[in-house]
Chains A and B, each alone.
Chain A
């Protein structure tokens, strides 16, 4: 019986739980309970069914040949394995997830680069004590007073003072 008993990969639920973000914890818990239920059910079933004692039946059943016929048919019986319809879906999902993960990581790296740049700008700033107003305007452009729009002091709407 080839193809049976695909080795079950050992899953480290603890490490898995660490990686779950807090907003998906509910889904993770549901998955875990489902998995645990399935594995418990599997463990409860013995691997091989109880063997039938043919000789006893041969002696017990009066009808001649019936037991032999049963035995022959039973031994010849091939129980079909249940077909696996979902693994391909799962693989497809995994490929898609990998793609979106790549995209997300790219975006994340870009964001990190942005943050690092801003951080470097802040780190390399001269201390405020040694700044002139021009230096302040160059570092924080929002502090620059618009002397064209508001030509008279204080160069900004009174409400913003």
Chain B
């Protein structure tokens, strides 16, 4: 009954829909069913730029949506925004199509994350593909329509297996959602350890090689000093020779000197001996020449001298 166009701040205005066809479409949808009409006509215009291009009749048909439907719009719009850059035909750069026969070398690394998916299974590319024609809710409508078709035409028959599949699906989804990140982190850690081990091997190898190169260079520098050893040896030899020569000189001089000194000492000894001998001989002869007569006379004289001396000293003492 009411065709509703909600002005949302989405980026891409509807392309290829001019004013007349938009009005025709909206009127068509009103005849089919209210719900589908509302869902189909959501989220068309809304950008400031887009507003200028919005056909006049669509703007005239803007009316307030019901609350539940607006919440659906919010959800789909936010999901659309959160899924990444919106642009028709955006593909990850590393997944290039092999347009030319040249191959890249080195092989470009694998992308960090896999392709974006909505609700865990459906790739984002489908939504991007359908966005220009059917907007945000297009793929959902497609999915719902397909499901309804398969159920109503009994292409897929509901039986016991359906409930089994549903239960198993639920359990699997719960398990993955709960334990997925931790298992992923564990696997990543294993991988990290392997890479870290290999990196360590590489680092140790590189450092040991640089160390070995430095050591070799140092050893070469050391070898260059070998001349000093032989200089030292030759110096030692020269010093020894010189020392020996000087010792010889000194020895000769000292020996000559010693001999001359010996001669002098010998002379002195002879001289001294002669002197002493002479003195002794003279004394002996003098003593032997003293006769007993002379001895008595000399003793008497000594006594009289002594007496005189004694008198002299006595006189001196009393005086």
Contact = CB atoms under 8 A, between A and B. Distances in A.
Given A90-B230, A105-B223, A111 B216 contact: yes
A143 to B, nearest CB: 9
Interface in A1-56: 4-6, 8-9, 11-12, 15-16, 18-21, 31, 34-35, 38-39, 41-42, 45-50, 52
Nearest to B205: A122
Interface range, B side: 35 or more
B238 A8 contact: yes
Contacts of B257: 50, 52
B228 A90 contact: no
Interface string B230-242: 1111111111111
Interface string B176-193: 000000000000000000
B195 interface: yes
A22 to B, nearest CB: 11
A101 interface: yes
Interface stretch (B12-20, B118-126, B128-136, B207-215): B207-215
A145 interface: no
A35 B221 CA distance: 24
Contact of B195 (A81, A90, A123, A128): A128
Interface residues of A, number: 70
A111 B206 CA distance: 15
Contact of B225 (A15, A48, A74, A111): A15
Given A52-B257, A61-B264, A128-B195, A119 B210 contact: yes
Interface of A: 4-6, 8-9, 11-12, 15-16, 18-21, 31, 34-35, 38-39, 41-42, 45-50, 52, 57, 60-63, 66-67, 70, 74, 77, 79-82, 84, 86-87, 90-91, 93-94, 97-98, 101, 104-105, 108-109, 111-112, 115-116, 118-119, 122-123, 125-126, 128-130, 132, 136
Interface of B: 106-107, 109, 195, 198-199, 202, 205-206, 209-210, 212-213, 216-217, 219-250, 252-254, 256-257, 259-260, 263-264, 267
Nearest 8 interchain pairs by C-beta: A19-B225, A49-B253, A94-B230, A82-B244, A130-B109, A16-B228, A45-B246, A119-B209
Given A15-B225, A84-B237, 20 more contacts: A6-B238, A8-B238, A11-B228, A16-B225, A16-B228, A16-B232, A31-B229, A41-B239, A45-B246, A52-B260, A60-B267, A82-B241, A82-B248, A86-B237, A97-B230, A108-B216, A108-B220, A122-B205, A130-B107, A136-B198
26 contacts: A5-B242, A9-B234, A11-B232, A15-B228, A16-B225, A19-B221, A31-B229, A31-B232, A38-B239, A39-B239, A41-B243, A48-B249, A63-B263, A79-B249, A80-B248, A82-B244, A87-B237, A90-B233, A91-B230, A97-B230, A105-B220, A112-B216, A119-B209, A119-B213, A128-B202, A129-B195
